[in-house]
Structure 1
């Protein structure tokens, strides 16, 4: 079935899209992965609060969130939910039942824990720094990086993404700041030889060398273009969503040229991770040219941190950030569901829900009209 998406309207001579109102569903501190009734009531409540998009994690910590033939083929064991149900199928069904877009989140991208079966069974798939070291630090702890330039890695990622999007009737797939590579990496034998073949010289000793940065960033872009083409062949209306860091960080530190991806037309939705502790530093990232140019072409929003484990963000700060995002005509997505309603000494879950209800007082449907 070919899906028909709601058409954007014209406001003041510019394209206006339905405001993104999303939330990431992680496995951190989460019991909705284990409790089907709670999953149902949680998604129903999100719909009642006029959210329109959910991003459930399907790939993190070197494992997938479903029974994957691709994962088994490369030696990754399947870790099922405690209730032994296919929770991606459950989330997709409940999301669509409540007219929410369901866009699975490919959280770890090219990352994997050093102790994961993926890393241990496929050491040649890993890249390294110039000194040969492979382990880096991330928000998820210590990780290794799959080599995004290696054809076997590219095939594995492609197969995994196509499997997700073929097996489930989801509305798209989302890649974040880990569909990238820290600039210190890329000195593995495969990449060094490839660079030599194409440029007739050795990679620079300085990982910040502009030509070396661009060569690696362009290679990642080439892969993302091919991946987008394959997904669009399956379904032209499939949402290719990207949730990167602000551009300067994304490109200069992680070789992720998402501004070029937008200009190439392979990004259907952009959500920039603006995880800033104060309002002023948050606002500075909203009116930059690459963000404002993107919002004229595609649905664009910013990610707002609702809290981390046992440390929720104040609801007043969340409210202010949403209002500022709207001032710059941007949608929002909250990271992450389990901290949205978490209780603070001065804030009950009901109070936090009341603030969100007031912010999202009017519906902003994004659900494909052919499914309604």
Structure 2
């Protein structure tokens, strides 16, 4: 708990307070999304020097605000924003799928080096099964996973998606992760909510894989089998990561609602039923070191309440794994146009539950903070006026 709180967090968002010793361990992070150049680089057509300068500007801003971790998207769609030995260079970096940057450089090596100089952790963010996004029309490079494993590459919702039920695909993703943690001094591996795709109203075309499962004696129904496939990948990556580098953290940021009615006031898309992600199990079984449910809703509305969902999630962490909720700073702009007061209240609320393992926040995404929308940098400077280390994970 905070040793000194302002009397009304909603009416005076610039109040000062002191952090106690527990809160000096706090995860203060941002996502840097590279897909579609959301956060970085601003364009695949700018020079290498400009790309490096943009990354340094983000890290310098984080250092000024006493933030301590960055979730850096290095594999948006079976491609690489690093010198991969397994996959093609990303079009979002070079403008041409499979073509290396010129002059040659390695963004992951660069950000790890520069972030560590500033005492900022780097968590490499990968998307396991997405192979090409909607509206993307570029030709896939010959070493792309959808070409190498064409049997398991499906057109779905104007995207290309790999089959999570394929053991070959699961093994390949494991090889990608092993390659990263063997060659880069990353502090964590991170995945977000994309396992099975969000539905376009049609059935995902994995029936041949499911039929083979049944022919081999499998008895799970289709939905349970899909959830088992996702769990299998999570089990495997947890084991691989901690066998190779035991102190590397493994985190996932699932959709913020596990199931309708959990907790009772909550309604909305069910990650369990629609995305086949049993994300509660990952906490209960200790399969992740931290979970970041994407709580991209306001505190007060009951149907999707930030506070109700956060309380529910931390009640699920029976093995002591950390919960770092995801906060929607992107909603400070556009049609939703939240007030920055909402984000400040959410950080205060998270801190009020720090004794129950809600130990920090991750903000989506870097762009709104870099643009200082609604003066958010000033608010974070007040909230983070004292430095903090990332929370200690005694099991690592």
TM over 0.5: yes
**Structure 1 residue 189: deviation in Å?**
1.2
Q: Report the more deviating stretch, 29-38 or 253-262.
A: 29-38
Partner of 2:315: 292
1:268 matched to 2:294: no
What's 2:124 paired with? 104
| Structure 2 residue 108 is the aligned partner of structure 1 residue 88 | yes
Measure, in 2, the Cα distance between the counterparts of 1:366 and 1:67.
28
Does residue 156 of structure 2 align to residue 135 of structure 1? yes
Distance 1:182 1:31, change over 3 A: closer
User: Deviation at 1:79?
Assistant: 4.7
Residue 249 of structure 2 corresponds to which residue in structure 1? 239
Q: 1:1-372 maps to which residues of 2 (within 5 A)? A: 18-27=25-34, 28-31=38-41, 34-72=50-88, 77-81=97-101, 84-106=104-126, 108-113=127-132, 115=137, 117=140, 118=144, 119=146, 122-127=149-154, 134-136=155-157, 142-181=158-197, 184-185=203-204, 187-199=206-218, 211-246=221-256, 247-248=258-259, 249-276=270-297, 279-280=300-301, 281-288=305-312, 290-294=313-317, 297-307=320-330, 311=334, 313-329=338-354, 330=358, 331-342=360-371, 347=374, 351-366=375-390
Structure 1 residue 326, shift from structure 2 partner: 2.2
Contact 1:35 1:83 in 2 (8 A): no
Greater displacement, 87-96 / 275-284: 275-284
2:264 equivalent in structure 1:
none
Q: 1:271 to 1:84 in 2, by over 3 A?
A: same
**Residues 364 and 195 of structure 1, relative CA distance in 2, 3 Å threshold:** farther
What per-residue deviation string (whole Å, max 9, x for no partner) do you get for residues 226-248 of structure 1? 22211111111110111111222
Count of residue pairs the alignment pairs up? 327
Contact 1:305 1:313 (8 Å CA) reproduced: no
Q: Deviations over 1:114-157 (max 9, x none)?
A: 65624356431125xxxxxx412xxxxx4232111212211221
- Report deviation, 1:113: 1.7
Contact 1:22 1:55 in 2 (8 A): yes
Task: Indicate the SS of the match to 1:56.
Answer: strand
Q: CA–CA distance in 2 between the matches of 1:29 and 1:219? A: 31
Measure the CA separation in 1 of the matches of 2:315 and 2:185: 31
The 1:113/1:241 distance shift into structure 2, 3 A limit, reads same
2-side partners of 1:353 and 1:17: how far apart?
A: 19
TM-score by length of 1: 0.78
Please, what TM-score do these two structures have when normalized by structure 2?
A: 0.73
Distance 1:228 1:271 in 2: 16
TM-aligned CA distance change 1:61 to 1:18, over 3 Å: same
Q: CA deviation at 1:364?
A: 1.7
CA distance in 1, matches of 2:211, 2:339: 47
Task: Give 1:81 deviation, angstroms.
Answer: 4.9
Give 5+ residue unaligned stretches, structure 1. 1-10, 128-133, 137-141, 204-210
For structure 2, list consecutive stretches of 5 or more residues without a partner in the other structure: 1-19, 43-47, 90-95, 260-269
Structure 1 distance, partners of 2:244, 2:319, is 26
CA contact (8 A) 2:29 2:362 kept: yes
